[in-house]
Amino acid sequence: MQKEPLSKIALPKIALIGRPNVGKSTLFNRLTGRKLAIVHDRPGITRDRRYGDASLAELKFQLIDTAGLADPDKSDLTQRMLAQTQKAIQEADVLLFMIDAQMPLTPFDKELARELRKHSKPTYVLANKVEGNGFFEGAKDAIKLGFENIAEISSEHGLGLDALYDFLKPHCQDMFDEEIVSDNNENKPLRLAIMGRPNVGKSTLTNALLKEERQLTGDLPGLTRDAIRISWEYNGRPIQLIDTAGIRRMARIDDTVEHLSVQDARKALQFAEVVVLVIDATTPLEKQDLSLAYEIYNEGRAMVIALNKWDLVKDKSTFLKAIEHQLQWQLAQAKNIPFIGISALKEKGLTELMDAVLLMERMWNKRISTAKLNAWLSEAISRHPAPMVNGRRIRPKYMTQAKTRPPTFVLFSSQAEKLPESYERYLVNSLRQAFDIQGTPVRIFIRGGRNPYEGKKKK
């Protein structure tokens, strides 16, 4: 019987449920093998539900980290966090109910246990934080929660995971077989990051694209703390959508959690392929907007600028001229970055935005044959010869494309170290125009041509 590719197999979904600060995010990071979730002693760091492909020995599954549930108040934020966790419970195949082994059971632990029993889903209790020796009151009282399967673990130190393995084994297909791993790049999802300053509408845009309230939104800056990765599909194209925390200048941040959030957002940038930089079109362009654009471009990522709240801008042409002028002044090497006016709240301009994203992905992956490159190079040099240095003309000889993502080229030239930056800019601009490479970084590395007499003895 032929096995399905891994990309086509629906992994079982396993949700981590529990009060704040019981170690859910620590266990999430351990099982996914990456520090995807921010871990801190302060309760309530995780607010949205977060997904990650996880494994335990040969078992493969999708893990869902959820917000910590304390005694719920009537505030809008708390109720929406509760709704996010309830959605995770509904879609999960297995529930891992985590408690703090070092603390006595709380009334809300028992209330949460009653709520989980209503769903009639396989539920396992993990009494976490059993580090060292001692009497763990929470672990001893876990039987009172009414669940048969209980394990004492330490998510920080990796203790007790053998018991967790025994719990999950019946629910996970054994997929530790290299034959079913697909290397087909066509099915690889596009990693699309949503970035910007705090409170410019990033999570609202994420929700609008997904057509559901997947992320918490509101006027309060800093609602999003983790970089949340969401599997999505647009017109048949698989996409991993990454909603990040708002980024301010590090010098202005004095809160440890916000500092960790910004670090998490910048880490997401390193893994992204295309970035949508969200700008609030109703406020003047700030230096931080331009700094973020420079950081994205310098990281070598394709970029689309989303001008959010575009429907509220009266003088659109003046605003566009101002932002183009500032970008040209501060980011002159970035040519023709798409500007798309959108309203995330009213779901306007989203088709144009995604069309621009897919176009930038194609530009980012553009490859040019060596024959075409050198035909262009010969023509470019004849139009504008390289300058002379110390009475000798610099002679670019040969060019080839080293890689894509972004398009990167190697130019072999005599006196390579003396080629002026102005001539490099000329070559980049001419290359963009000749091969229609717009909106993505283009890099050229200059190498010296090999001397045919090198190493030979003089007669």
- CB 293: neighbour CB atoms within 10 A? 24
Q: In this structure, what is the dihedral angle of CA atoms 6, 7, 11, 17, given to the nearest 10 degrees?
A: 130
Q: Where are the alpha helices (DSSP H) in 190-343?
A: 202-210, 256-271, 287-298, 316-330
- The answer regarding whether domain 6-180 maps to CATH 3.40.50.300 reads yes
How high is the pLDDT of residue 318? 87
* Residue 201 pLDDT exceeds 50: yes
Across all residues in the chain, what is the average pLDDT? 79
Strands (DSSP E) contained in 129-223 are: 150-152, 190-196
Are 194 and 278 in contact, with CB atoms under 8 Å apart? yes
Among the CATH numbers 1.10.260.40, 2.60.15.10, 3.30.300.20, 3.40.50.1100, which is that of 370-448?
3.30.300.20
Buried b or exposed e, range 208-227, using 16+ CB within 10 angstroms: bbeeeebbbbeeeeebbbbb
Q: What is the C-alpha separation between 451 and 53, in angstroms, rounded?
A: 52
Domain 370-448 in the same topology as domain 6-180: no
* d(C-alpha 283, C-alpha 278), whole Å: 12
Which pLDDT does position 46 carry in this prediction? 45
Q: How confident is the model at residue 199, as a pLDDT?
A: 84
In this prediction, residue 74 carries a pLDDT of: 57
CB 65 within 8 A of CB 46: yes
Question: At 179, is the pLDDT very low, low, confident or very high (cuts 50, 70, 90)?
Answer: very low
Q: How many helices (H) and strands (E) does the chain have?
A: 12, 17
How confident is the model over 318-331, as pLDDT tens digits? 888 888 887 777 77
Q: Tens of pLDDT along 109-142?
A: 888 888 888 888 899 999 998 876 666 777 888 8
pLDDT at 255: 47
- Predicted local confidence at residue 119, as pLDDT: 86
CA torsion through residues 449, 450, 452, 456, sign: positive
Helix, strand, or coil (residue 108): helix
| Res. 309: pLDDT tops 90 | yes
User: Has residue 229 got a pLDDT over 60?
Assistant: yes
Q: Is the model's pLDDT at 220 over the cut of 70?
A: no
Q: Say which CATH topology domain 189-364 has.
A: Rossmann fold (3.40.50)
Q: What is the pLDDT of residue 131?
A: 78
The domain ranges of the chain are 6-180, 189-364, 370-448
Q: 């070559």: which residue's tokens?
A: 427
Residue 308 near residue 335 (C-beta atoms within 8 A): no
DSSP structure class, residue 337: -
pLDDT tens string 404-417? 889 999 999 988 88
Residues 6+ apart with CB under 8 A from 31: 52, 54, 55, 56, 63
- Give the range among 14-18, 83-87, 204-208, 371-375 with minimum mean pLDDT: 83-87
